[in-house]
Structure 1
Amino acid sequence: MNESSLYQLTQKFAESPSPISVSSSTFKSVIESLLDLLIEQHLEATLWLKLPQGNYWSKKIEQYQQQGNAQHIYLCSIRKDSPTSSSGGGHHSSLTKVTPVVLETSSHLKREFFLIILSPELSTLVLANKPVNKTETSEQNNYQKSLFFNLMYSFNPALIQKVLEQIKQSITITDTTPEELLVESNSSFSLPDYPRANWIEKLLLKQIQQTEILQSESSLMVENQSTIRLLNESLLFKDEILKNLAQELSLPLTNMKTGLRLLESMQSKREQRQRYISLLQRECERETIILSGLQELVHLDQISAVEIDPSLKLEDLIPGIVSTYQPLAEEKGISLGYTIPTGFPPVSCPENWLRQIILSLLNNSLKFTGPNGRVFVQAFLKNENVELTITDTGSGIESSEIPLIFNSFYRGRNAIAENLGGAGLGLTIAQHLLQRCGGSISVTSQPGKGSTFTVSLPVFEGEMQE
């Protein structure tokens, strides 16, 4: 038995157009454009087709057939498949003018798909070959390869006739093979030498429509993938928070139980009892702070990623936030200021997220800066990002602690030694929000001299508002 290959046949043809490599989505779009054109223009035609599995093709073909314009539809498949499985639905067997055609079991034909339209007004051939790369062995490479086709598109009547003859020669004769396919027969009409200009225009417009739909679907898919990624990151973040929360709650509860048990002892002296009461009060305060931190975390969930405002600029946002902390800074005797140059591009971060990030960092710097200290906010333009620095002259951070400060509920030695409040979630939340909008945060610090937190924000690349 000959190993028939329609694709190889077209490549030997002198006037055959060069094939192009296309994705499965593009191949689907090309076929859909032709089928939609047949349906919308009520074009009478005979179809020969072998398409990848999928109920989608079946519905389109059935829609065309029900219009009554299909002169004949030859639905091809190879021997191992059911005659209707190649078009995916199995809905055609009970309908008239649809003839299942079984082709020989050829390794080439298994990987080839085609749509031939025969009409006095428009005759065309779309032939796709799924390439096999014998040097690629990994499943990933084979999978990627299976998503692409070598596509050949032609209106040449001689080439269409050649391919059609090859298909007929590849038919496997069965009890159900129609008699008209067992004898040589020519078309009842002459294939047009080329499509008329109006049909080319209609086909191009339909292809443009399909391209727009394809791009829209692709954009929606990318958006959905981004949403799923953010949801996964959010779930992982919450898992980490809950795991750390369990550990964070266990120690205060243990201390409180110990204090209560010792207080119940009649042998405890007055000074000891007072010490135990102080322990209970301290741990109760710690529990209250943790609960307050959890409320802040719940609030984080409510800070939705609203549409980014393309007019949002740091020069409009920072002054208002800094002024919020001026009374606290004056009360502690701290100099608080900022320098934000005008004319910087807007940043790609929702305003409510950016506000929360800056509030957390300013609150952190003021907490660890003593009287006569200084906290200063500056902005810089660096490559494709806007950098925002919050610098303080506070107690600083030990180098061994810097990798830990963004962990949930982490409180450094200075916070514990100076008995500073806070649940240890501010920096965690700031980093999480920055990562979600494509930014980053880093810190440099010297114990006893202060710290600088650097926030890197991507520049907004969408259309600017007037």
Structure 2
Amino acid sequence: MNDSQRKNLSVYRLALGVHKPPQVLSLNLATLLSLVRSHIDLLVEQQITATLWVKLPPGKIWHAELSRYQSAMGESGVIYNCQTGKIGKSGDKQAFSASSPDHICIQLPINRQLQREYFLIVLSPQFCSLILAHRPLKRSQTPGTAKVNVQKKPPILAITTHEGRIIQPIVDGIKQAIARGAVPEAIAPESALISPSNFICPSASEPALLSQLLIRQLQQQNEINHYISNKRIIKLQQQNNQRQNDEQRKDEYLRSVCQELRTPLTHMKTALSLLNSPNLKPPQRQRYLQMLNTQCDRQSTLITGLLDLVDLEHNLAKTALELVNLADIVPGVVSTYQPVAQEKGIMLAYNLPNELPDVWCVIGGLRQIVINLLHNSIKFTPNGGQVWVKARVQGDYVQLEFRDTGIGINENEISKIFDCFYRVRSGITEDMGGAGLGLTIVKRLLWRCGGAIYVKSKVDEGTTFIVNLPRVRKIPRAIA
């Protein structure tokens, strides 16, 4: 083997280069692991003293099998742990101690072909075996060709055999590559030599051992099939439960929508029937017409809120964020609601510190958040109450606070107020109106930008909504 052949060493090509090469199988890593386990099972149970040449995928699950053989056989078995990477002083690249007398780390030539190959070679007078796996490169799609379904991970090509005529040339090829180009520190301990140097593989292994190996492989495959089947069943059950939960939430949502739309229709139908009364007086007529107008407005509000929520759910994930300053939003919204507050005799004020940092929010979302929360505070605050809007920097967030002296929220209702269509009931009026979607929209807008909202409330003492908006930290300019 010349220097070029040594550098281009490929155990897979050596196996295919023999006369009448073995059949190549396509399998996955789980099946490959079962083959390795069945061989170790046989060696341990039959107490077969063997020399193992191994190059396995990284991971404790693989090398645990070699540790199992090492523990069972003690010093009677020898393991050559072949590596294509650099071996440290301890020789401990793959979780084995290089100082162990029955484990020897060996440096193989570094090339792309060999790095994609794994093998387990078992050498003993009564039983020889080869498990060889090759991971081919992914197929790259050439320009101008139609798109095809290319697997992310191509299947592993594997060879397994017990024929000495195939195993012997592979072992000889590895030994030649090591002898002609191995790094001096590649063999540990220093006194170790490649052995057995004169070992000749038997033409065939003992039939009884092959029969036992077949039984072990079937057992391992059954265990894998059982594991995969259970995993698939669990996954299907989880998917089924998720679908059932989604369907249940959808049914509850549709039921709530229908109920919300039915309520104003019922009031409108009642008002229309009363308007048909022949003895209707003008004040009563005016009251029923006002009822119709109010319920039509409520119906319109519900439909608008539903359309806004549907649009938000469909587009929120892909909606861009923008940098916005609270000083550009809060004063304008507060001034818009001043006439409403004055009509109820409510003192409405805001306080924004100078030079508040910008915050991240969905485009147009901050104005919607402020409008919904301020509208709620005024709506649920009795005449003569107070509403404050304040802001401050709190760590990585700008905190926006809406505090009122309103009716408050029962403790058992606080966890429900962000649900669709949920409206706080109170003794002030039978129905506070609204679609019951404002807080739902606020929470989802904040979720998109990485913010959050918290509530503190006591009945008859007022409510405080605290909104956390991710702040933008200013990068200091370099001093010249």
Equivalent pair of 2:446/2:453 in contact (CA under 8 Å): yes
Identity of paired residues, percent? 35
Distance 1:381 1:279, change over 3 A: closer
> Match of 2:258?
246
2:417 to 405, 430, 438: 405
Distance of 2:325 and 2:475 partners within structure 1? 12
> Match of 1:19?
none
Amino acid at match of 2:25: T
The unaligned stretches of length 5 or more in structure 2 are 17-21, 42-53, 66-80, 88-103, 109-117, 132-158, 185-244
1:350 to 359, 362, 366: 362
Distance of 1:103 and 1:278 partners within structure 2? 78
Equivalent pair of 2:409/2:458 in contact (CA under 8 Å): yes
Secondary structure in structure 2 of the residue aligned to 1:270: coil
How many Å apart are 1:339 and its aligned residue? Answer: 2.3
Distance of 1:303 and 1:415 partners within structure 2? 37
Amino acid at match of 2:9: T
Secondary structure in structure 2 of the residue aligned to 1:408: coil
> Does residue 192 of structure 1 match 2:181?
yes
How many Å apart are 1:390 and its aligned residue? Answer: 0.7
Secondary structure in structure 1 of the residue aligned to 2:295: helix
> Match of 1:210?
none
Aligned pairs for 1:151-230 within 5 A: 154-155=85-86, 159-160=106-107, 166=121, 169-171=128-130, 179=165, 181-182=167-168, 185-186=172-173, 190-194=179-183
> Match of 1:85?
26
Superposed CA offset, 1:51-105 (max 9, x none): xxxxxxxxxxxxxxxxxxxxx3547xxxxx97322479xxxxxxxxxxxxx9995
How many Å apart are 1:346 and its aligned residue? Answer: 4.7
| TM-score normalised by L of structure 1 | 0.51
Equivalent pair of 2:393/2:399 in contact (CA under 8 Å): yes
Equivalent pair of 2:443/2:453 in contact (CA under 8 Å): yes
Equivalent pair of 1:349/1:437 in contact (CA under 8 Å): yes
Aligned pairs for 1:34-433 within 5 A: 45-48=8-11, 72=13, 74=15, 83-86=24-27, 105-107=35-37, 127-131=57-61, 154-155=85-86, 159-160=106-107, 166=121, 169-171=128-130, 179=165, 181-182=167-168, 185-186=172-173, 190-194=179-183, 241-257=253-269, 269-270=279-280, 274=285, 280-298=292-310, 300-301=312-313, 302=315, 306-309=319-322, 312-315=324-327, 317-326=329-338, 328-329=340-341, 334-342=346-354, 346-369=358-381, 373-399=385-411, 401-414=413-426, 417=429, 421-433=433-445
Moved more, 428-437 or 184-193: 184-193
Equivalent pair of 1:312/1:347 in contact (CA under 8 Å): yes
How many Å apart are 1:285 and its aligned residue? Answer: 3.6
Equivalent pair of 1:443/1:453 in contact (CA under 8 Å): yes
Amino acid at match of 1:107: R
Amino acid at match of 2:182: D
Equivalent pair of 2:422/2:436 in contact (CA under 8 Å): yes
Equivalent pair of 1:386/1:456 in contact (CA under 8 Å): yes
How many Å apart are 1:324 and its aligned residue? Answer: 4.4
How many Å apart are 1:351 and its aligned residue? Answer: 4.8
The unaligned stretches of length 5 or more in structure 1 are 1-40, 50-71, 76-80, 89-101, 112-123, 135-149, 196-232
Larger Rg: 2
Distance 1:459 1:109, change over 3 A: farther
Distance 1:107 1:296, change over 3 A: closer
Distance of 2:364 and 2:292 partners within structure 1? 38
Secondary structure in structure 2 of the residue aligned to 1:427: helix
> Does residue 456 of structure 1 match 2:415?
no
| RMSD across aligned positions (CA) | 5.3
